[in-house]
């Protein structure tokens, strides 16, 4: 039992993972590459299977039968804060905090369309199910809370809003940072993260981003909403052309020694009009290997054992974008 912040919580028995993180007994870090579907049971290895980009994974074609209330979100957040306080996570580096928090969500369900369940743009929060971007946003926001020893749910939601929307302002559907390369650029401008691809020896390409407007029928909030569609067309026109920094797939392993736990990964694609098809966080194993912890479209938050191999099994992937979360403890108050 732990009493802090005026709340008494009975904590379940916890087991430490191989790194700084913590997991409940029901969450076991899988030692397998989920993308390649490599099974280590009885020494059997299945043939790798490529993951094909499917816009339905993130564009909202699901029926959300159960919605988590704000009260439940607050309760889940408070329990997580209690455990983090007990483990003194604020004493760790920013990257270690991120990895520890990400581990706590292992086994949580992948769910597409969480941000599009309402006809109006609202600040959607989930601590029980994620799509790939929502997972990254949530872990980063919680880590910022912990680094600052600010255990307020309101601060957490402010971090989510600041990361998700252009200039940190929620102003309708088109204010959301729909393209991940733009998400990186906008968050870098406001001191949340830093694009480190140039430091890693990456290359850049110029690309016209118009996948949303040219695939209107695949987006729930665009199909029957002309106003949303027009503003997306305008948003894309204002972006053109976009310069995308990325590490080619063949060079990913060369960056392993420079990557830190918690670095943000976007998988760059050669699909016309699109920049990134999937996102996650760098996961460093005790043996030094670099994997990816992510909300996987094949079912849940899990860990891919090797980042390079994972990317190689994603259809149309050409490499990775990499951004490093900045530690708010070393930033000016305006950027915290």
Mean pLDDT by runs of 10 across the 336 residues of the chain is: 37 36 32 29 32 40 52 96 97 98 98 93 97 99 98 98 98 98 97 98 96 97 97 95 96 98 99 98 97 97 98 98 97 65
Residue 119 backbone phi and psi in degrees, to 5: -75, -20
DSSP state of 18: S
Looking at the DSSP bridge assignments, the partners of residue 265 are 280, 322
Domains and CATH numbers, the chain: 2-40+52-335 (1.10.3670.10)
Cβ atoms of 174 and 235 within 8 Å: the answer is: yes
- The two beta strands, 109-110 and 129-130, are parallel
Placement of tokens 């053109």 in the chain: 240
Largest CA distance in the chain: 55
DSSP conformation letters of 66-84: ----HHHHHHHHHHHHHHH
Write down the pLDDT at residue 240.
76
Write down the pLDDT at residue 3.
36
Residue 71 CB contacts under 8 Å (≥ 6 apart), including other chains: none
Looking at the DSSP bridge assignments, the partners of residue 283 are 291
Write down the pLDDT at residue 254.
98
Query: Can you tell me whether residue 149 is helix, strand or coil?
Result: coil
Cβ atoms of 307 and 251 within 8 Å: the answer is: no
**pTM of the full structure:** 0.81
Distance, in Å, from the CA atom of 35 to the CA atom of 240, rounded to the nearest integer, reads 32
Query: Can you tell me whether residue 184 is helix, strand or coil?
Result: helix
Placement of tokens 């979360």 in the chain: 325
> Which stretches of the chain are DSSP H helices?
70-86, 94-104, 132-147, 153-164, 180-189, 211-214, 220-223, 226-239, 307-312
Cβ atoms of 21 and 102 within 8 Å: the answer is: yes
Which of left, alpha, beta for 288 (phi over 0: left; psi -120 to 50: alpha)?
Answer: left
Neighbouring C-beta atoms of residue 100, cutoff 10 Å: 27
Write down the pLDDT at residue 95.
98
């Amino acid at each position: 039992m732990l009493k802090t912040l005026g709340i008494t919580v009975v904590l379940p028995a916890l087991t430490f993972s191989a790194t700084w993180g913590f997991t409940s007994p029901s969450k076991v870090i899988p030692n397998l590459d989920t993308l390649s579907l490599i099974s280590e049971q009885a020494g059997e290895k299945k043939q790798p299977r490529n993951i094909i980009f499917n816009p339905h994974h993130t564009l909202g074609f699901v029926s959300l039968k159960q919605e988590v209330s704000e009260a439940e979100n607050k309760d889940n957040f408070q329990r997580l804060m209690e455990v983090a306080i007990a483990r003194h996570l604020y004493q760790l580096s920013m990257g270690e905090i991120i990895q520890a928090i990400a581990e706590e969500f292992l086994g949580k369900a992948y769910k597409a369309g969480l941000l599009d369940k309402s006809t109006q743009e609202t600040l959607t929060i989930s601590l029980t199910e994620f799509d790939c971007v929502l997972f990254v946003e949530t872990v980063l926001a919680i880590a910022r809370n912990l680094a600052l020893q600010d255990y307020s749910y309101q601060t957490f939601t402010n971090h989510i809003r600041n990361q998700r929307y252009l200039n940190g302002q929620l102003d309708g559907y088109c204010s959301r940072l729909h393209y991940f390369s733009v998400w990186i650029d906008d968050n870098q401008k406001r001191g949340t993260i830093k694009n480190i691809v140039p430091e890693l020896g990456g290359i850049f390409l110029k690309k016209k981003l118009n996948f949303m407007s040219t695939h209107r029928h695949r987006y729930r909030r665009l199909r029957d909403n002309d106003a949303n569609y027009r503003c997306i067309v305008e948003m894309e026109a204002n972006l053109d052309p976009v310069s995308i920094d990325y590490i080619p797939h063949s060079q990913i392993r060369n960056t392993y020694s420079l990557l830190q736990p918690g670095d943000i990964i976007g998988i760059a694609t050669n699909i016309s009009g699109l920049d990134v098809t999937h996102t996650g966080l760098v996961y460093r194993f005790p043996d030094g290997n670099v994997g990816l912890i992510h909300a996987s479209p094949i079912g849940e938050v899990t860990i891919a054992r090797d980042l390079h191999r994972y990317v190689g099994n994603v259809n149309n992937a050409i490499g990775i974008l990499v951004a490093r979360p900045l530690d708010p403890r070393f930033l000016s108050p305006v950027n915290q």
